[in-house]
Amino acid sequence: MIARTVDKLRATLPGGNVGPYKIAGFSARLLEKLELEEDALRDAVAQAQNDNDVVQWLRKHTDPQTYPEINASFEKRTVGHAVTADPSFAERYPVTKKLPPETPLIDMLVADDDDIFAKG
C-alpha cells in the first residue's frame, strides 16, 4: 500500500495528475496506522530524488516493527467485510459486484485499477 500511496501523493504535486484516485480510504488508513501526516509524507516525496529517499524517510519517521501487523490488517480485509460494514463501498468500487466476497481488498484494488484503465 505504501508504494500506491506514494504514487498518489506524487501525482498531487505540481505537474502531476491524480486522476480518479484519492488519498482518502486505503491510503488514509495506512497513514493513520503508520502515524504519519499526509502533508509530511507529501513533502518528503516532493523532496526525494528517488524512491530510495522515500524509503529512508519512512524508516526514519515510522516504526518498522509495526509493518507486519499493518500488512496483515490490510491482507485480512475482504470485499465481503467492506460491503457489510459500508453498503456504499460497492458504489465507490463497482468492481466489487464482480468479485467473490472472500476477495482480499488488496486484490480488489488491482481489479479496480484494471477496470478503470480498461475503460479509459
Q: Same structural domain for residues 90 and 103?
A: yes
Do residues 2 and 58 touch, judged by C-beta distance below 8 A?
yes
Return all residues near 114 (Cβ < 8 A) that are at least 6 apart: 95
CA 54 to chain centre: 16
Name the grid cell of 40: 509530511
> What pLDDT, on the 0 to 100 scale, is given for residue 114?
85
Residues of the chain with pLDDT under 70: 119-120
> What pLDDT, on the 0 to 100 scale, is given for residue 17?
83
Closest alpha carbon to 9 in 76, 64, 58: 58
Closest alpha carbon to 101 in 78, 84, 76: 78
Which residues constitute the domain of residue 115? 78-120
Please give the tally of structural domains in the chain: 2
Q: Same structural domain for residues 21 and 50?
A: yes
> What pLDDT, on the 0 to 100 scale, is given for residue 87?
82
Rounded Cα gap, residues 88 and 69, in angstroms: 27
Q: Same structural domain for residues 35 and 71?
A: yes
> What pLDDT, on the 0 to 100 scale, is given for residue 74?
87
> What pLDDT, on the 0 to 100 scale, is given for residue 25?
81
Q: Same structural domain for residues 86 and 54?
A: no
> What pLDDT, on the 0 to 100 scale, is given for residue 53?
97
Q: Same structural domain for residues 63 and 86?
A: no
Q: What is the pTM of this model?
A: 0.81
Q: Same structural domain for residues 3 and 57?
A: yes
Q: Same structural domain for residues 107 and 93?
A: yes
Question: Helix, strand, or coil here: 78?
Answer: strand
Rounded Cα gap, residues 10 and 4, in angstroms: 10
> What pLDDT, on the 0 to 100 scale, is given for residue 40?
97
